[in-house]
Amino acid sequence: MNDFAGAAAAPAGRVDGVTLTDPGEVREMFTAPPEVLHPGEGARILEPVIGKNSVILLDEGEHLEQRKLMLPAFHGEKMQRLESTMLEVAEREIESWPESQPLPLHPRFQALTLEVILRAVFGLDSGTRLDRLRELLARILDLSGRPMSMLPFLQHELGGRTPWGRFVRLRAEADSLIQELIEERRASHEDRDDVLSLLLEARHEDG
């Protein structure tokens, strides 16, 4: 185990984080019983963005139950149907990159990932709703990427000019657009390949 958090700067006896480099230890971590490791606890700071019931934040039985519900939507054959959409989005993004000059990759990869989510996961076509949701989610990601915006003790409504106030309003509008899309898909019963439509077909064993 190698400390990556700067042991020299940390008080004696305290380790802020570790990284595993030995393949056996990595395997042991990923195959540890769910009651031993709780990755959801470590990702709790993401709750305002992804919701308290996100599979990323759940542990033990709740995590396994949600994963079981979601797995059919991510079956290999169903993912292959979305390959052309993801390839189209990736090629269009890469073609927009300038040549022979430095390029900050993080914002470009973030934009690419967001576009794939909007097109392949939500199944949105070009239009006003796609453009607005893209704008909202990009602004939400920008705010949530600033540590001072997401610290729990700062998550209080103190007016629209505060980072948290802006975040809450952006999230509410994005949630409204996504819920509207969900209701449309439920009502249409159309046979679609996007991940959202596949997830809406998920059922517990009791129906």
**Domains in the chain: boundaries:** 77-207
Single pTM value for the model: 0.72
Residue whose C-alpha is closest to residue 90's, from 113, 69, 68: 113
CB atoms within 10 A of CB 84: 10
Distance CA 106, CA 112 (A): 10
Phi, psi of 114 (to 5 degrees): -65, -40
Alpha helices in 96-162 (DSSP H): 105-116, 128-144, 147-150
Q: Which amino acid is at 147?
A: P
Which 3 state secondary structure label does DSSP give 2? strand
Tokens of 174: 């994005």
Choice between 31 and 10, residue whose per-residue pLDDT is larger: 31
22: pLDDT strictly greater than 90: yes
Residue 68: pLDDT band with limits 50, 70, 90: confident
Query: What average pLDDT does the segment 50-66 reach?
Result: 87
Residue 8: pLDDT band with limits 50, 70, 90: very low
